[in-house]
Amino acid sequence: MEDFELELKKDFLDEAKGLLETAEKSFLQLENNPTNEVLINEIFRFAHNLKGTSRAVGFGQIAELTHLAENLLLKIKEKELIIHSGIMDVLFYFLDKVREMILGLDANLEAIFDYQDCLNKIEAALSGKIEKTDKTQENKPSEDSFPEEEESKISLVKEPSKKVKPTTNSGAAANTEETIRVSLKKIEDLNNLVGELVILQTEVEALAGTSGKETRSIRSLGKLCKEIQDLSMSLRMLPIGPTFQKLQRIVRDTSKTLEKKVDLLLKGEETEVDKTVLENLADPLVHLVRNAVDHGVELPQERLLANKSENGKIEVLAFHQGNFLALHITDDGKGIDPQVLRQKAIHKGIIKEEDNLTEEAMYQLIFAPGFSTKDQVSEVSGRGVGMDVVKTNVESMGGQVRVQSKLGVGSSIELLIPLTMAIIEGMLIEVSGKQFVVPQSQIQEVIKIDLAQAEKFSGKNPYYKLRDLVVPIFSLKRDLGLDKRVQLPPIALVVKKGKKFFAVGIDDLIKQQQIVVRPLTFEISHMKGAMGTTILGDGLPSVILDLVELYGDIA
């Protein structure tokens, strides 16, 4: 295959992925508003363009399948067929099959697919042999779906790409931005080089500090490095909207399976986050939203008995909170009974009868491996895996998960995640002559230890009186195996996990600086509490410590 042909095929596949996302949005809206001619025309154009372009680049199977789907959409467009739930199921099946083919070809350009079942379904729809699959829904727009007053709505028509307007004779500049497509690998290479630049700049500052000759040029270099770093990192920042939109399909399919009626409201779709963080968020969001439909929202008849509307509501909200991404997944369902969680956990051997848990700790039980309130495994849930994935993924990104609930009113799960995992604000500390880094985001405050405020009640860890709190204090040098002696350190970092505080003793606090996060080496990859490595100003490597992981379960 010639390079030119290969490039054409790859370009088509990249563009097709975006077209599929846009089409799915339109399909979901069409299901709620089947008489909307704008939507029908938009979907028809999608199928027509996909058919022509796929045939032009040599993907005949996609062209054949899309051609038949185009015939179905033409009958709908010309009002020869009336859209109902059965027709929509066929259209979604077609969309899923095309997505499967696109992803398959992306992995192997010579891939061959079996799509006869999809052709049969479309043929049946064309001949009028497809019946309604959901008898509870009328063939009319839902008054509760995507209300106009909500902040976030799915656009009906894909926005045209921005183009540069030609300048006038007077030389006036164009008022729109010009865009180009850039390989992700090039952006990653750029960020790696910027990371090396930050490390080099740190070394220069360290040398200047040692010699006592910090100059204006060195300060300007630091400022310039920071600006370049911010710009390069912004290239990795993507809006969370496309990830949010995929949740529409999850809600649609899950609620249909469970015979529930659920409206999904999305807010903050323009909120930007690092691509790596965004990729790691996809699975947790799917599990959280599916869990809200399954365990949170009640059946329509149950909601009516509770004086609620038939349609449950799930809201997903995203916004920036300092250097963090905040995500709130809220439902107006039956809420969570913490005592039910406790009894289930005792029954499954996750906790003991005598364990005295706070209400927040009982809510956290839903994230325990193997925990489920379902007695039987179903197509949707019951394996006790989904919520465990949520906590594991979020904490691996240095994030936190909180749960709030009120019986009969609903529940809210809040995620707080660093906006980027590539460069962080870190605190350089010293323990037994060795230097480590702690993420600045984990440190609530730094305290000087007053021996009069320390008491040892039981066990090996003393407790420290911090104003109106009594917090456990741990010795980092002992727990890292650097010094086995039990003695109070001169300085401690105060860390918060959920509503709990604990203190971690260190020998010295060096300085705060930006840290380029590198992957763990093989030798320390299994070390508890190690979240990455970095290169310090003296050119030596250092471990980045996750104090929440190291002490959060025992604090």
* pLDDT of the residue at 555: 62
Binned at pLDDT 50, 70 and 90, residue 158 comes out as very low
* pLDDT of the residue at 378: 52
* Residue 357 CA neighbour count, 13 Å, CB half: 20
Sheet holding 454-455, edge to edge: 443-448, 491-497, 500-506, 469-475, 463-466, 454-455
* pLDDT of the residue at 168: 41
* pLDDT of the residue at 153: 33
Query: 102-153, pLDDT tens digit by residue?
Result: 999 999 999 999 999 999 999 999 998 888 775 444 433 333 333 333 333 3
Alpha helices (H) in 348-424, listed in sequence order: 359-363, 386-396
Of the candidates 542, 516, 497, the residue with the CA atom closest to the CA atom of residue 395:
497
Query: 447-456, pLDDT tens digit by residue?
Result: 998 887 877 6
- Chain position carrying tokens 């979604």: 92
Query: 406-442, pLDDT tens digit by residue?
Result: 999 999 999 988 877 677 788 999 999 999 999 888 8
* pLDDT of the residue at 172: 42
For the whole model, what pTM was predicted? Answer: 0.64
Q: Across residues 238-254, what is the average pLDDT? A: 89
Q: Across residues 454-480, what is the average pLDDT? A: 80
- The DSSP code sequence of 113-146 is ---HHHHHHHHHHHTT-PPPS-TTS-SS--TTSS
CATH architecture of 423-551: Roll (2.30)
User: 170 CB contacts (<8 Å, ≥6 apart)?
Assistant: none
| Range with the poorest average pLDDT among 96-110, 164-178, 257-271 | 164-178
Q: Across residues 82-107, what is the average pLDDT? A: 92
- The DSSP code sequence of 81-122 is S---HHHHHHHHHHHHHHHHHHHHHHH-TT-----HHHHHHH
Residue type, 492: A
Class level of CATH domain 3-126: mainly alpha
Query: 181-237, pLDDT tens digit by residue?
Result: 777 778 878 877 887 787 788 778 777 766 666 677 877 887 888 788 778 878 888
Binned at pLDDT 50, 70 and 90, residue 486 comes out as low
Instruction: Report the distance separating Cα 76 and Cα 70, nearest Å.
Output: 10
- Domain ranges across the chain: 3-126, 184-236, 238-418, 423-551
What share of the chain in percent tops pLDDT 90? 31
* pLDDT of the residue at 332: 95
Q: CA angle, corner 520, sides to 515 and 521, nearest 5?
A: 125
Question: Does residue 53 have a pLDDT over 70?
Answer: yes
**More confident of the two residues 58 and 194:** 58
Superfamily of structural domain 238-418: Histidine kinase-like ATPase, C-terminal domain (3.30.565.10)
- Dump strand ranges (E) for 190-269: 237-239, 262-267
